[in-house]
Chains A and B, each alone.
Chain A
Amino acid sequence: MGPRSTRRRGPVHALLGALAALLLGAATLTGCGPEDGAVTSLGTTGGTRVEGGTATMALPPAATPNWIFPIGTAGYLASYNNAVQDLLYPPLYTAEKEGAGLTMDSPRNLAEQPRYSDRNTTVTIALKKGYRWSDGTPVTSRDVEFWYDLIKHDKEEWAGYSPGLLPDNVKKFEVLDDHTFRLRLDRPYNPAWFTGNQLQDFTPLPKHAWNPHDENPKKVFARLLEHAGKLSEFATDPLWKTVSGPWRIEKWTTSGQVSLIPNKQYGGPDTPHLDRVVLKPFTTADSEFNVLRAGGVDYGYIPPSVTARSASFEKLGYRVDPWEGWAITYIVLNFNHPTAGPLLRQTYLRRALQHLIDQRAISDVVWHGSAEPTRGPVPAGQLDRDPFPYDPKKAEALLTAHGWQRTDGRLRCARPGTGPDRCGKDITAGQPLRLELLSQSGSTETSNTVQEIKSALEKAGITLDIRQQPLNTVLGTTVPCKTTEPVCSAWQLGFFGTQGSWYFPTVASGESLFATGAPSNMGNWSDPKADELIRKTEYSDDPSAMRDYARYTADQVPVLWTPNPAYQVSVIRNDLRGIDQNPTLSLAPQDWYFVKKGGTGR
């Protein structure tokens, strides 16, 4: 009887237990986890440092480090690859946050500040002494020249190459001695621009280890690429063991998990405190979120929508800290679209559209405070004013003044023509003000942002049709084009800014973005004055050049400025300190350390 009845009740009991557990789980879907181990938040620094320990950082979804060679080829220029490379092979100059901008004068730099001469056509750079490779060999000018030779002879293979820029703009690389080299440039350049946007790429590579027989750069490059194509051997290939940075590779799995340990030979000022840093790739934000809540990562991220519930993470012993990117976000306007182009080419109309975007409300409500309004073509902190704040009345006044009238709640052109009070060239009488936005899908915040913009435009009598597509489709469609090309008819407005539309190099200049014919000028905008101002930011050392360019371009509204989201909303363990989230998305885990927690180290 007993055993039999047990057998009979067993599954029932088990099932009831499972059901109870499931119900408990369902009931706690919005609850909080355990609180033991939480320490009082003391901010990002401070506390009693404990040397050693392992910190695990979650990488963004689908950000799998897969390229170790510091010269990226097509498809391997992603920020997470650069971040890892810079820890092994640091560039000469590292950009760091300073006020609202960036500075290239970091104590981490491998070189002293560059000296410009001959009317800014010559740059002389002195390497700091004391830096050495992990095998003890000093880092010299020859190592920088080695990098330069590789990109010069294989520039088409280098994904960072843009015609006219590096290495085209360097006429001659002269090694003066072991620690000094000189660049002869093809013309005078703005020193700030050249240091920020060109010298930041210069990276010493171990010539003695990678090219001991002084072979032809093309041959060496091919050999290095062959090694770089063997992901499974990154941790074991002797080639990658010679590093100059504060870290070296312990493990690099084919699924992209990278484990770094301190390079004991590192000669820089920022030696690591931790025993190990693990960069853990996650393929979806959901899986990362689950692991984060279970305490599986020390430094992770949450969706912006969860920011409102940051208190629950604070209870778990984390602090929430949005990682602001050195970026701007915008809706691209296709000036060459056969039918929308004539509308978008009207400056008054673009300004009216900009007045209808309530960036502050979208930042606060949709992004839960993890976004900041974009004011123009440079990061928000670089502009002293918002030329087109949210103001539906001003928008209406602009449109009315240029011949648009409401009919059945919709704006139509009542005064066609090209005069100052007319709708503008190629806009016909009775033409409705109707546009279509191709926006990336997959983000609640982005969907809500575009819906909010649509709603505001509808109120003003402007129809905005929204078509959402996966990011890759949007990127593949919103490309520079000519009116006659089929792809130009495929989109009028485009948005791909869930994580920021454009990340700048150190100097937020516009030669790649807003100059006529620039590779990333997706909307085909062209303005001779803007071109002139952009050239000034590149070539002149006038300190007002950047400000003039930013103000003028912001006024012209070549794109519609929208809130710039944080790169990620970071969630960091309270007892992990020293994390200063660099807007350029670089990492400095050598600064991280654990603090004592309840009298014990980690």
Chain B
Amino acid sequence: MIRFLAKRLAQAAVVLLLVSVIVFVLLHLLPGGPARAILGVKATPEAVAHFNHQQGYDRSLPQQYVMYLGRLLTGDLGASYKLNQSVTSLLGERLPKSALLAGLSIALAAALAVPLGVLQAVRRGGAADHLLTGAAFLAYATPVFFLGLVLILVFSQQLQIFPAEAPQADTVGGLLADAPALVLPVVTTALGIIAAFSRYMRSAVLDNLEEDYVRTARAKGQSNARVMARHVLRNALIPLATLLGLYLPTLFSGLLVVESMFNYPGMGLLFWNAAQGSDFPVLLGVTLVVGVATVLGSLITDIAYAVLDPRIRSVS
């Protein structure tokens, strides 16, 4: 298991290095460079030259990358051109907020998707199954921005139950203290995930219900609930665990839209603004963090697999 983990971590490091190279090169190939965007149209040529020199843009690309990598190894991700903060502090500030939003959304999605998936599988072909299947397809096909907009119109502007803006506190505790303001962003993020997860759950439960060991368990006289909880659910959760790990990058792109829509000060918004403002250090920093999250996600998936499935554990 340790060797397996070490091997996976080494692979992850290579992947992250490649990600950093690709993103770095792509960013620096953009025409014009960031100086004018940062300094504005009134900047003098001297100011532009000074900025380019300060940031090392007057050096060759490989030199710039080596410098960047050197700083990266010491934990220095540089400073934002626009936000008057170091990238590290920005990430430290925004990452927990996005993690909170993602965590709450996934928790809500899991809490609803698992029972819904089971319900659909158990009542396969029934009215509830058809209705939930239709609802899941509708939710899955609805673009996040449209869904968010509708939720805002209904619950914020019409019914005035929840605010249209996410909480703006600086800390996770402060965000949680303003729980009503979290409802719409969390629901907007979660709905698509619920749809996807419940579909996976439904087919996984159906697959497992056909298995021999379920028939054996039933033949032994175990109750339906016990069979479902002890045998079916445990095995059905394996593909869901895989999905969860692989869902992280997708979730980030969803968060980007949700955070922009609800003015939620998380990573997605940070990335969006950095892209709008040619804030290269922030773009690189966020990309690396998302890369790490993706790699970690697949690592967690493998571990979860091993925990959930004894056969995989024995192979490892």
Contact = CB atoms under 8 A, between A and B. Distances in A.
Asked if A pairs with B, the answer is yes
A308 interface: no
A163 B44 contact: yes
Given A12-B131, A34-B160, A287-B263, A490 B149 contact: no
Given A163-B44, A254-B170, A520-B42, A293 B164 contact: yes
Contact of B168 (A8, A255, A501): A255
Interface pairs A-B: 10 shortest CB-CB: A476-B32, A472-B37, A25-B154, A25-B150, A294-B164, A287-B263, A519-B44, A66-B84, A475-B36, A255-B265
Contacts of B157: 28, 33-34, 290, 293-294
A359 B261 CA distance: 34
Nearest to A157: B50
Contact of A62 (B81, B150, B156, B276): B276
B262 interface: yes
A290 B164 CA distance: 6
A334 B252 CA distance: 41
Contacts of B224: none
B36 A472 contact: yes
A159 B39 contact: yes
Interface stretch (A15-23, A39-47, A209-217, A374-382): A15-23
B164 A291 contact: yes
Contacts of B149: 25, 29, 290
A53 interface: no
A257 interface: yes
A291 B262 CA distance: 8
B32 A472 contact: yes
A474 B82 CA distance: 18
Given A156-B50, A287-B263, A502-B41, A476 B34 contact: yes
Contacts of A282: 263
A30 to B, nearest CB: 10
A293 B163 CA distance: 11
Contacts of A159: 39, 43, 47
A37 B126 CA distance: 49
Given A255-B265, A287-B261, A11 B150 contact: no
28 contacts: A12-B127, A12-B128, A21-B155, A29-B153, A62-B273, A66-B84, A67-B84, A74-B39, A159-B39, A162-B44, A253-B170, A254-B170, A288-B263, A290-B149, A290-B152, A290-B164, A290-B262, A293-B157, A294-B160, A294-B163, A296-B163, A471-B37, A472-B32, A475-B32, A476-B35, A477-B32, A490-B31, A519-B42
A294 B156 contact: yes
Nearest to B145: A286
Given A15-B132, A287-B261, A255 B170 contact: yes
A24 B158 contact: yes
A25 B261 contact: no
Given A291-B263, A520-B41, A26 B31 contact: no
Contact of B278 (A8, A472, A487, A512): A472
Interface in B72-104: 81-85, 89, 93
A75 interface: yes
Interface residues of B, number: 64
Contacts of B153: 25, 28-29, 31
Interface string B144-180: 0100011111111110100111001010000000000
Nearest to B82: A75
Interface string B35-77: 1111111111111101100000000000000000000000000
Contacts of B38: 74-75
A290 B84 contact: no
A473 interface: yes
A15 B137 CA distance: 13
A334 to B, nearest CB: 14
A283 interface: yes
Interface residues of A, number: 70
Contact of A77 (B40, B89, B116, B277): B40
A22 B154 contact: yes
A476 B31 contact: yes
B224 to A, nearest CB: 14
Q: Which of B84, B85, B151, B269 has the most CB of A within 10 A?
A: B84
A533 B153 CA distance: 56
A29 B146 CA distance: 10
Interface in A271-312: 280, 282-284, 286-288, 290-291, 293-294, 296
Nearest to B157: A33
Q: Which of A22, A162, A296 has the most CB of B within 10 A?
A: A22
A18 B151 CA distance: 10
A444 to B, nearest CB: 16
Nearest to A67: B84
Nearest to B259: A283
Contact of B119 (A11, A22, A475): A11
Q: Which of A163, A288, A475 has the most CB of B within 10 A?
A: A475
Contacts of A18: 135
The B interface, classified by DSSP as helix, strand, loop or mixed, is helix
Interface of B: 30-48, 50-51, 81-85, 89, 93, 116, 119, 127-128, 131-132, 135, 145, 149-158, 160, 163-165, 168, 170, 259-263, 265, 269, 272-273, 276-278
Contacts of B43: 74, 159, 519
Contacts of A449: none
Interface string A143-178: 000000000000010010111000000000000000
A161 B50 CA distance: 13
A124 B116 CA distance: 80
Given A25-B154, A67-B84, A293-B157, A163 B260 contact: no
B168 A476 contact: no
Interface string A581-593: 0000000000000
A291 B165 CA distance: 6
Interface in A526-556: none
A282 B35 CA distance: 24
A327 B130 CA distance: 60
A283 B44 contact: no
A254 B165 contact: no
Q: Which of B31, B35, B82 has the most CB of A within 10 A?
A: B31
A62 B38 CA distance: 13
Contact of A254 (B47, B82, B93, B150): B93
Given A15-B132, A28-B158, A519-B44, 11 more contacts: A25-B153, A28-B157, A31-B153, A64-B273, A231-B85, A290-B157, A472-B36, A472-B277, A475-B36, A476-B37, A477-B31
Given A159-B47, A255-B170, A287-B260, A294 B131 contact: no
A318 interface: no
Nearest to B272: A283
Interface string A50-93: 00000000000010101100000011111000000000000000
A19 B134 CA distance: 11
Contacts of B273: 62, 64, 283
Interface string A332-349: 000000000000000000
A502 to B, nearest CB: 7
Contacts of A26: 150
A588 to B, nearest CB: 24
A496 interface: yes
Contact of A512 (B30, B35, B42): B42
Contact of A66 (B33, B46, B82): B82
Contacts of B168: 253, 255, 257, 280
A1 to B, nearest CB: 17
Contacts of B135: 15, 18-19
A366 interface: no
Given A34-B160, A75-B39, A472-B32, A25 B84 contact: no
A266 B285 CA distance: 43
A280 B167 CA distance: 12
A237 B262 CA distance: 31
A11 B116 contact: yes
Q: Which of A31, A229, A280, A473 has the most CB of B within 10 A?
A: A473
